[in-house]
Amino acid sequence: MGPMLKGLIELQSVEGRLRGMRARLTRFKRAVVMQQQVLKQLETTKQTHKDTIADSRADVERLELELQSRDEAVNKYKDALNKSRNNKEYVAILTELNTNKADNSKIESRILEYLEVIEENRKACEQLDSDIEKQNQTIEDVKSKAADKIAECEAAIAEIEAQWNEVAGRLPQEALELFKKLSDTYDGEAVAFVQQTGNKQVSYSCGGCFMNVTAEAISQLISYDDISQCKNCGRILVIDEKNEQK
């Protein structure tokens, strides 16, 4: 193996560190976003309670108006009752009066139900206000902790990227393009070490997909600095230098 294949092995190692650090950065950024989502959920829930309160208040107002007009009706019937001229008329007015009174008490209990709903939702809003305040503190806390980690990651990424560019600069354009393409396909594992198995009857396989690699391919790899791809997965095959020296 010559400088190109060795350069590809080195690039793969840098690529692995780069991907690892980028994943770490994403996790720290996501930690803040996740807490912000919790806050958003709390705010949405609070809004639902506020809407219920507004609806119930409108219902109470409507029922109070209805109650008022029915109370006026009851008073009219009471007057009429006093002025009734005979028993038949008296009984008829009394029936109307009692019906209206009964309706009124139904409306009153409905108003009470709505008032209870308002109170329950008001308490829920109070609890949510305190939860929202706590969650805002949590977000600030996570943000400040994550900020340090994010800065560390970004600095590390810049450093690794510089190394990546340095190693990549030593490689032929074609080899680099192939490396990038395979790296995207195999999550940073463009290069596969050839695995050696067996003692008397030695056989070789691709370290990426474990399919057989011919002995001719191995001797090519040892003798030349050419790219040889696995026939099955397409990864760039390389030899572990320690094995090569054996």
Query: Where does this chain bind Zn ion (CB under 5 A)?
Result: 206, 208-209, 230, 232-233, 235
Tell me if 240 sits within 8 A of 206, measured CB to CB: no
Least Cβ distance, residue 33 to Zn ion (angstroms): 37
Residue closer to Zn ion by CB (options 49, 235) is 235
Phi, psi angles (nearest 5°) of residue 204: -125, 145
The closest of 40, 56, 44, 41 to 121, measured between CA atoms, is 56
Least Cβ distance, residue 2 to Zn ion (angstroms): 21
Residue closer to Zn ion by CB (options 41, 203) is 203
Cα(131)–Cα(193) distance, rounded to whole angstroms? 54
Residue closer to Zn ion by CB (options 97, 189) is 189
Residue closer to Zn ion by CB (options 12, 56) is 12
Query: Cα–Cα distances in Å, from 119 out to 49, 53, 61, 124?
Result: 11, 8, 16, 9
Residue type, 214: T
Residue closer to Zn ion by CB (options 164, 193) is 193
Least Cβ distance, residue 191 to Zn ion (angstroms): 11
Phi, psi angles (nearest 5°) of residue 213: -120, 135
Helices (H), the chain: 3-82, 87-169, 173-185, 215-223, 241-245
Least Cβ distance, residue 243 to Zn ion (angstroms): 17
Least Cβ distance, residue 187 to Zn ion (angstroms): 14
